[in-house]
Amino acid sequence: MPKPLAHFKVVDLSCVLAGPFSTQLLADLGAEVQKLEPVAGDPTRGWGPPFEHGESGESAYFRCANRGKRSRVVDLHTEEGKALLFDLLKDADVLVENFRQDSADRLGLTWKRLHARFPKLVVASVRGFASDVAASRRAGYDFIIQAESGWMAITGEPEGRPMKVGVALVDVLAGLYCANGIQAALLHRERTGEALHIEVPLMEAALAGLVNVAAGALMTGEAPKRYGNAHPQIVPYQSFRCRDGEVAIGVGSDRQFEVLALWLGLDLEARPEWKRNRGRVKDREEVVDLIEAHTQASSVHEVLAFCEAHAIPASRVRSVDEVLFRQGGELHNLLQPLFEEETGTMVPTLATPLLLNGERACAPLPPPRWKP
């Protein structure tokens, strides 16, 4: 498999998810990643259950973002620890860190100091908030940023409580932005010889992730609402109850709705405004009630069979275990077990969704074991 980043060395001082997720992606693309953990280890090593062996062993949380790395313990509060770090940085191309700004100041690991000592080093800093705002010294956690950014205000049922997304998606977004910025900085350095400092604030990654919701608020000045599983700008585009489960139906074009209308027995000549999406959005409740009256009288299989026969995007609402354990090879090929020499066992992981010349990008090293 091609290894586009095979000649680059990365030092990873980051913990938890956003930074480690970005360096895992770099490792999948071939970079050599050295993870430096504090004396107590990356906090996610203790985040569980689930753990590998009941209440002991590796945590699933640590495993999700640390494939492809080698790890060692470094106490950066000691001169010996800093000396080890600086020795590694002599040959490194990239440093990734997620210290709070005041911690970076105390440790002497600011961009200004690092750049003066290692002028060719690309530095990527994952922060809770950008360095040019009043909140810059606040710690950033995914859940807090979901609350701060408005994500929770648009997630959940319309009459329910604000709700976070089911995974730390802000961290994942920030990690992707970070990996993308690092690769751009390496290209820039190869062309110009100049190293760059990349800053990825979780708050701003979350705001960027609001996409059409933010665009709508900027256009109208109005606060977006919660729609549960429905879409604010497309109808029908949500889940519907059936006799034996739920299906998700996404009608992305007016032509698709014309076909669906035949199944509903709906005369669009009598409701011409529903021929266009804007009319269906306006009459959202009436359209949705009409569709659900039919789906509730049908099985999931019957609804999906109709949708598949008429090229209407649809799916049963699946559980995570069903997708991972029973749909591999049909819906995805993302499962990538990695051999661990220390234990002689295979470690189950999810590879990246990147295919390079038809091959899955996945670093061969399993997540490193804890060796304090």
Q: Could you tell me if residue 256 is inside a domain?
A: yes
What value does the mean pLDDT take over residues 148-156? 97
Q: Are residues 308 and 354 in the same domain?
A: no
What value does the mean pLDDT take over residues 107-112? 94
3-state SS track over the chain: CCCCCCCCEEEECCCCCHHHHHHHHHHHCCCEEEEEECCCCCHHHHCCCCEEEECEEEEHHHHCCCCCEEEEECCCCCHHHHHHHHHHHCCCCEEEECCCHHHHHHHCCCHHHHHHHCCCCEEEEEECCCCCCCCCCCCCCHHHHHHHHCCHHHCCCCCCCCCCCCCCHHHHHHHHHHHHHHHHHHHHHHHHCCCCEEEEEHHHHHHHCCHHHHHHHHHHCCCCCCCCCCCCCCCCEEEEEECCEEEEEECCCHHHHHHHHHHHCCCCCCCHHHHCHHHHHHCHHHHHHHHHHHHCCCCHHHHHHHHHHCCCCEEECCCHHHHHHHCECCCECCECCEEECCCCEEECCECCCCEECCEECCCCCCCCCCCC
Q: For the chain, what is the mean pLDDT?
A: 95
Given the residues 12, 42, 142, 171, select the one marked as catalytic: 171
Quick one: pLDDT band at residue 54, thresholds 50, 70, 90?
A: confident
Whether the per-residue pLDDT at 372 is higher than 80: the answer is: no
What value does the mean pLDDT take over residues 55-66? 91
For residue 2, what pLDDT is reported? 75
Q: Could you tell me if residue 224 is inside a domain?
A: no
Whether the per-residue pLDDT at 56 is higher than 80: the answer is: no
Q: Are residues 308 and 343 in the same domain?
A: no
Tokens 């060395």 belong to 9
Q: Are residues 186 and 250 in the same domain?
A: no
For residue 293, what pLDDT is reported? 94
Q: Are residues 187 and 247 in the same domain?
A: no
Q: Could you tell me if residue 2 is inside a domain?
A: no
What value does the mean pLDDT take over residues 349-357? 93
Q: Could you tell me if residue 1 is inside a domain?
A: no
What's the CATH code of the domain at 74? 3.40.50.10540
pLDDT in tens, 328-342: 888 999 998 999 988
Whether the per-residue pLDDT at 296 is higher than 80: the answer is: yes
Q: Are residues 194 and 56 in the same domain?
A: yes
Whether the per-residue pLDDT at 257 is higher than 80: the answer is: yes
Q: Could you tell me if residue 125 is inside a domain?
A: yes
Q: Could you tell me if residue 223 is inside a domain?
A: no
For residue 123, what pLDDT is reported? 98
Domain that holds residue 116: 9-209+334-360
Q: Could you tell me if residue 371 is inside a domain?
A: no
Q: Are residues 42 and 113 in the same domain?
A: yes
What's the CATH code of the domain at 250? 3.30.1540.10
What value does the mean pLDDT take over residues 14-24? 98
For residue 53, what pLDDT is reported? 80
What value does the mean pLDDT take over residues 94-100? 96
Q: Are residues 42 and 162 in the same domain?
A: yes
Looking at 17-31, 167-181, 184-198, 259-273, which range is the least confident one? 259-273
What value does the mean pLDDT take over residues 348-355? 92
Quick one: pLDDT band at residue 363, thresholds 50, 70, 90?
A: very high
Q: Are residues 60 and 154 in the same domain?
A: yes
For residue 102, what pLDDT is reported? 87
For residue 55, what pLDDT is reported? 77
The pTM assigned to this predicted structure is 0.94
Q: Are residues 250 and 115 in the same domain?
A: no
The domain tally of the chain equals 2
Q: Are residues 198 and 306 in the same domain?
A: no
What value does the mean pLDDT take over residues 198-219? 97
Q: Are residues 313 and 339 in the same domain?
A: no
Q: Could you tell me if residue 365 is inside a domain?
A: no
Which residues, listed in sequence order, are joined to residue 125 by a DSSP beta bridge? 97, 199
Q: Are residues 35 and 183 in the same domain?
A: yes
Whether the per-residue pLDDT at 136 is higher than 90: the answer is: no
Quick one: pLDDT band at residue 327, thresholds 50, 70, 90?
A: confident
Catalytic residue status for 171: yes
* Share of residues in the chain with pLDDT > 70 (%): 100
Quick one: pLDDT band at residue 318, thresholds 50, 70, 90?
A: very high
For residue 106, what pLDDT is reported? 92
